[in-house]
């Protein structure tokens, strides 16, 4: 029997302390198949050969696999059936995905996205599972509800422990503020999400309109809204912060109420500041001006409302500037939050203690997904690799405002590209030194401004600073 052809290099994986004996046993069983053995031994070896190969032999010898419960030597071959090994998990890389325009379009799964999830969960030529998380600017529902929806669409089980909405990082500010105004979303969902985060006193625009219907001349509460909104006397209420959790369902009414708070004396409704600089801070869960919905063309998003709030404030105050803040992509704080979540997910789900060498971020919006990934990569300890897909905001043939490391048609192509790139890195590892590998696989980004944290809560930029930022990938 001639030796088997050399197999492609396999990615780094995690299997506890059994790796060495697995490799020894696999090679031993393969040798016995070459030299011949009894039918019972052949059946045992055949069972082992059906498992994913673990390593590549540089001499051309084929590689075999066996259960971590076995430790065989040439003189003591296994004679008992072996149980299947635990799953192989890639420990050197992971994926992070945007959702709208990457996995979902108009509430429906993009077909290639369903296949991509299967590849990540082990249906690939290497038989490995690859850790991944989801990082979307969307919101308006609890993470658990979003995960239930996405699980059905992707035909897999998705945990809230691997999921970040645009407003998820706001949870870390729940103890900082007392009374907060929460804007956006359907019905009372955003109030419930905010309260689940630990915010103690949550006010909605509906509460304010119920107290004084003249607040919004063109918006009248429906019977359901009137019943759900809470009765409250706002005479002595001080709003400490405004949080726009999700896209507004009534731009005119919400704009009016946000401006009333922004122009007030310290967040007290019914008052007007003489200097227009006494209002509470205003936070948006993201700053996407456009997003990919069911319509053929992109639709206006929260970033558009943010721009209108700042523009209108300047108009009605005769030139005063309102500085709002944003979470979500491309803010550095959101990617820092994602790094912590990925670390917990890898530890709790896959028992991986060390961070991945590379995180492949797949998005459809150059201005948020690609820009944020490239920015974060300049300060991250590992390599955050941006991939742009053509199923959402970005249109094939156009020049993206922010350049990704790679552009592919679909998320399935993105996953396959990441896996192929990891195989190439493994091949280079034996030939290049660390400096050469770093030079080949992590770009330099030049002429970037310093990023600052606002009170260590989140990284925020004003729109003018955001527009001025340019990335040059060399």
Per residue of the chain (474 residues), give pLDDT as tens. Answer: 445 555 545 444 444 433 444 444 444 544 444 444 444 444 444 444 443 333 332 333 333 333 333 333 333 444 444 444 567 999 999 999 999 999 999 889 999 999 999 999 999 999 999 999 999 998 999 999 999 999 999 999 999 999 999 999 899 899 999 999 999 999 999 999 999 999 999 999 999 999 999 999 999 999 999 999 999 999 989 999 999 999 999 999 999 999 999 999 999 999 999 999 999 999 999 888 988 888 989 899 999 999 999 999 999 999 999 999 999 999 999 999 999 999 999 999 999 999 999 999 999 999 999 999 999 999 999 999 999 999 999 988 899 999 999 999 999 999 999 999 998 888 776 554 444 544 555 554 444 333 333 333 343 433 444 433 333 343
List Cβ neighbours of 140 (8 Å cut-off, separation of 6 or more). 184, 185, 186, 189, 190, 193, 245, 246, 247
What is the rounded distance in angstroms from the CA atom of residue 98 to the CA atom of residue 83? 38
C-alpha angle 153-157-159 in degrees, rounded to nearest 5 = 110
Q: How many CB atoms lie within 10 A of CB 234?
A: 17
* Predicted pLDDT of residue 426: 81
List Cβ neighbours of 25 (8 Å cut-off, separation of 6 or more). 48, 64, 65, 66, 70, 71, 72, 78
Q: What is the pLDDT of residues 166-203, one digit of tens each?
A: 999 899 899 999 999 999 999 999 999 999 999 999 99
What is the rounded distance in angstroms from the CA atom of residue 317 to the CA atom of residue 263? 8
Q: What is the pLDDT of residues 32-54, one digit of tens each?
A: 444 444 444 444 444 444 433 33
**What separation, in Å, do the N-terminal and C-terminal C-alpha atoms of the chain show?**
50
Give the distance between the most distant pair of CA atoms in the chain: 94
DSSP-derived letter for residue 215 is G
Say what the pTM is: 0.70
Residue whose C-alpha is closest to residue 275's, from 256, 262, 294? 262
What is the rounded distance in angstroms from the CA atom of residue 287 to the CA atom of residue 299? 13
């Amino acid at each position: 029997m001639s030796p088997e052809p050399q197999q492609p290099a396999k990615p780094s994986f995690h299997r506890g302390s059994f790796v060495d004996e697995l490799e020894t046993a696999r090679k031993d069983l393969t040798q016995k198949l070459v030299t011949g053995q009894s039918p019972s031994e052949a059946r045992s070896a055949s069972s082992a050969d059906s498992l994913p190969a673990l390593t590549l032999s540089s001499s051309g010898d084929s590689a075999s696999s066996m259960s971590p419960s076995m430790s065989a030597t040439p003189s003591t071959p296994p004679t008992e059936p072996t149980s299947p090994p635990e799953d192989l998990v890639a420990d050197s890389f992971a994926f992070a995905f945007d959702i709208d325009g990457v996995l979902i379009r108009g509430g429906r799964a993009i077909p290639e996205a369903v296949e991509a999830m299967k590849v990540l969960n082990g249906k690939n030529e290497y038989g490995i599972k690859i850790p991944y998380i989801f990082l979307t600017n969307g919101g308006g529902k609890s993470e658990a509800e979003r995960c239930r929806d996405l699980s059905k669409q992707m035909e897999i089980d998705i945990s809230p422990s691997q999921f970040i909405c645009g407003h998820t990082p706001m949870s870390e500010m729940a103890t900082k503020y007392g009374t907060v105004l929460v804007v956006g979303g359907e019905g009372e969902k955003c109030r419930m999400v905010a309260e689940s985060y630990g915010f103690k006193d949550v006010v909605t625009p509906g509460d304010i309109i119920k107290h004084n219907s003249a607040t919004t001349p063109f918006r009248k509460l429906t019977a359901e809204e009137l019943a759900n909104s809470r009765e409250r006397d706002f005479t002595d209420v001080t709003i400490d912060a405004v949080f726009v959790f999700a896209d507004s369902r009534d731009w005119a009414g919400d704009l009016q109420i946000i401006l009333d708070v922004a122009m007030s004396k310290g967040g007290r409704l019914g008052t007007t500041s003489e200097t227009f600089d006494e209002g509470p801070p205003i936070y948006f869960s993201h700053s996407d001006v456009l997003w990919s919905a069911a319509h053929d063309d992109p639709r206006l998003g929260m970033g558009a409302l943010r721009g209108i709030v700042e523009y209108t404030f300047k108009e009605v105050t005769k030139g005063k500037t309102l500085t709002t803040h944003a979470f979500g992509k491309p803010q550095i704080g959101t990617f820092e939050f994602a790094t912590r979540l990925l670390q917990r997910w890898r530890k709790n789900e896959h028992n991986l203690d060390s961070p991945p060498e590379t995180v492949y971020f797949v998005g459809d919006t150059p201005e948020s997904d690609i820009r944020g990934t490239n920015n974060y990569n300049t300060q991250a300890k590992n390599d955050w690799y941006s991939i742009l897909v053509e199923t959402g905001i970005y249109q094939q043939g156009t020049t993206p405002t922010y350049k990704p490391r790679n552009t592919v048609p679909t998320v399935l192509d993105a996953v396959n590209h990441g896996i192929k790139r990891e195989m190439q890195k493994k091949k280079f590892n034996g030939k290049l030194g660390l400096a050469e590998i770093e030079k080949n696989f992590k770009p330099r980004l030049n002429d970037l401004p310093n990023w600052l944290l606002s009170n260590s809560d989140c990284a925020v930029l004003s729109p003018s600073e955001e527009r001025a930022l340019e990335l040059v990938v060399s």
